Structure 1
Amino acid sequence: MEEHLLPSVSYNAVQSHTPPRNHRRLTRRSRSAPSLFTCTQSIPPCLAIDNSHRTPSFVRIASIGAALYITLGVIVFIVKRDSFSGHRTCSLVDALYFSVVTLCTIGYGDIVPRTPLTKLFVCAFVLVGFGFVDVLLDGLVRHVLDRQEAVLLSAVDGGEQGSVVLRTYVMDVEKRRMRIRMKVGCALCVVVGCVASGTVAARVLEGLDWLESFYLSVTSVTTVGYGDYSFTTVRGRAFATAWLLVSTLAVARAFLCLTELRIERRNRRIAEWVMKKKMTVGDLVAADLDSDGSISKSEYVIYKLKEMGKIAEKDILQICEQFDRLDARNYKKITLSELMESHHLSFAMMDEK
Structure 2
Amino acid sequence: MEEMAQPLLSSSRCGHSEIEESIPISSSPSSDVATPPPLKSCLHRARTAPAMSVIPVDLLPHDSEPALDTSSPIIMHASLLLLLYLSLGMLAYFFNLRGFSVVQTHPAVDAMYFCIVTLCTIGYGDITPVTPVTKAIACVLVLVGFGLINALLTNAVNHLLNLQESAIIDSVCCASTRPTSYIVDAEKGRMRIRTKVGLAVVAVVLSIGVGAVVLRLLENVDWMDAVYLSVMSVTTVGYGDGSFKTTRGRIFASIWLLVSTLAVGKAFLYLVEARINKRHKRIAKWILKRDLTVKDLFAADLNQKGFISKSEFVIHKLKEMGRIGEKEILSICDQFNKIDLYNTGKITLPDLVIVSR
Per the shorter chain, which TM-score range? 0.7 to 0.9
Equivalent in the alignment of 2:284: 271
Alpha-carbon shift at residue 188 of structure 1 (Å): 1.2
CA deviation digits over 1:162-188, x for unaligned, max 9? Answer: 235894122122332211121111011
One-letter amino acid of the counterpart of residue 171, structure 1:
V
**What amino acid is aligned across from residue 319 of structure 2 in structure 1?**
K
In the alignment, what sits opposite 1:8?
none
Question: How far is the alpha carbon of 1:151 from its aligned partner?
Answer: 2.3
Do the aligned partners of 1:152 and 1:166 also contact (CA within 8 Å) in 2?
no
Partners of 2:59 and 2:189 in 1: how far apart?
A: 26
CA distance in 2, matches of 1:230, 1:169: 42
| 1:27 maps onto 2:40 in alignment | no
Residue deviations 1:182-222, cap 9 Å, x none?
A: 11110110111111111111122222222222222111111
5+ residue gaps, structure 2, are 12-45, 51-56
* Partners of 1:173 and 1:324 in 2: CA distance: 37
Query: What SS does the aligned partner of 2:323 have?
Result: coil
Counterpart in the other structure of 2:54: none
Partner of residue 120, structure 1: 136
Task: Give the match for residue 139 of structure 1.
Answer: 155
After TM superposition, give the deviation of residue 150 of structure 1 in Å. Answer: 2.2
Report what 2:247 is aligned to: 234
> Which of 180, 199, 210 pairs up with 1:186?
199
Map of 1:65 onto structure 2: 81
In the other structure, the counterpart of 1:105 is 121
Q: Do the aligned partners of residues 62 and 50 (structure 1) sit closer, same or farther apart at CA in structure 2, a change above 3 Å counting?
A: farther
**Residue pairs, 1:281-320, within 5 angstroms:** 281-320=294-333
| Counterpart Cα distance in 1 of 2:219 and 2:148 | 32
In 2, the alpha carbon distance for the partners of 1:295 and 1:154 equals 43
- The percent of aligned pairs where both chains have the same amino acid is 48
The residue identity in structure 1 corresponding to 2:105 is T
Tell me which of 61, 77, 102 is aligned to 1:86.
102
Cα offset for 1:56? Answer: 4.5
Give the match's secondary structure for 2:182.
Answer: helix
2:200, 2:271 within 8 Å by CA — same for their partners in 1? Answer: no
Cα 1:123–1:207, aligned 2, differ >3 Å: closer, same or farther?
same
Report the Cα offset of residue 281 of structure 1. 2.2
Return closer, same or farther for 1:319/1:153 CA change in 2, 3 Å cut-off: farther
Change (3 A) 1:245 1:262: same
TM normalised by structure 2 equals: 0.78
Alpha-carbon offset, residue 155 of structure 1: 3.7
Amino acid in the other structure paired with 2:90 = V
SS across alignment from 2:161 = helix
CA contact (8 A) 2:102 2:127 kept: yes
Task: Name 2:23's counterpart in structure 1.
Answer: none
Counterpart Cα distance in 2 of 1:72 and 1:263: 41
The equivalent position to 2:61 in structure 1, one of 17, 25, 43, is: 43
Per-residue CA deviations over 1:309-331 (Å, capped at 9, x if unaligned) read 11122222333334344444544
CA shift for structure 1 position 68: 2.0
Work out the CA distance in 2 between the residues paired with 1:342 and 1:263. 45
After superposition, the CA RMSD in angstroms is 2.9
User: In structure 1, what is the Cα distance between the partners aligned to 2:225 and 2:171?
Assistant: 43
Is 1:208 the counterpart of 2:242? The answer is: no
User: Structure 1 residues 71, 325: closer, same or farther in 2, change over 3 A?
Assistant: same
Q: Distance in 2 between matches of 1:165 and 1:40?
A: 40
- What is the rounded CA distance, in whole Å, between the counterparts of 2:230 and 2:160 in structure 1? 25
What SS does the corresponding residue of 1:334 show, helix, strand or coil? coil
2:259 counterpart of 1:246: yes
User: How far apart are 1:61 and its partner, in Å?
Assistant: 3.0
**SS across alignment from 2:101:** strand
**Matches of 1:316 and 1:218, distance apart in 2:** 46
Give me the whole-angstrom Cα distance separating, in 2, the residues matched to 1:137 and 1:256. 15
What is the aligned residue count? Answer: 312
From 150, 166, 172, the equivalent of 1:150 is 166
Bigger mean CA offset, 288-297 vs 317-326 = 317-326
Q: What one-letter code is carried by the residue in structure 2 that aligns with 1:112?
A: T
Change (3 A) 1:166 1:298: closer
3-state DSSP class of the match of 1:169? coil
**In structure 2, distance between residues paired with 1:53 and 1:328:** 39
Instruction: Please say which of residues 193-202 and 310-319 is displaced more in the overlay.
Output: 310-319
Instruction: Report the CA distance between 1:73 and its aligned residue.
Output: 1.3
Please tell me whether the aligned partners of residues 78 and 95 of structure 1 are also in contact (alpha carbons under 8 angstroms). Answer: yes
- Matched-pair contact (CA < 8 Å) for 2:213–2:226: yes
Provide closer, same or farther for how the CA distance between residues 62 and 321 of structure 1 changes in structure 2, counting only shifts above 3 A: farther
> How many Å apart are 1:55 and its aligned residue?
5.6
Q: Which amino acid aligns with 1:63?
A: S
CA distance in 2, matches of 1:327, 1:41: 16
Do the aligned partners of 1:190 and 1:250 also contact (CA within 8 Å) in 2?
yes
Q: Is the 8 A contact 1:89 1:233 kept in 2?
A: yes
